[in-house]
Amino acid sequence: MKMFRELDEVEEQEFRAWARANYKPLSPINGVWHTAIQDECRKMNSEVDIGDPDQLIRDILGMDAA
């Protein structure tokens, strides 16, 4: 049983554009979002250059460098 409906090409591009406009990279991906949105979010995460991993963790946690 499919949990999400099939999208036509235009709808899929619209869903992916929504993800690009609304998803903050490296934040949680909501499992109730359509699979096209989830896929685009994962793609966005893979595009992130994390640079210094320690700084990334501080940024995610909202901590200043000590």
The residue type at 37: I
Distance CA 40, CA 16 (A): 6
The answer to whether the predicted template modeling score (pTM) of the entire model surpasses 0.85 is no
CA 65 to centroid of chain Cα atoms: 26
Q: What is the pLDDT of residue 50?
A: 74
Question: Is residue 26 within 8 Å of residue 45, measured between CB atoms?
Answer: yes
User: Could you tell me which residues come within 8 angstroms of residue 44 by beta carbon, excluding any fewer than 6 positions away?
Assistant: 19, 20, 23, 25
H helices of the chain, in order, are: 9-22, 35-47, 53-61
pLDDT tens for residues 10-33? Answer: 999 999 999 999 999 989 999 999
Q: What is the pLDDT of residue 29?
A: 97
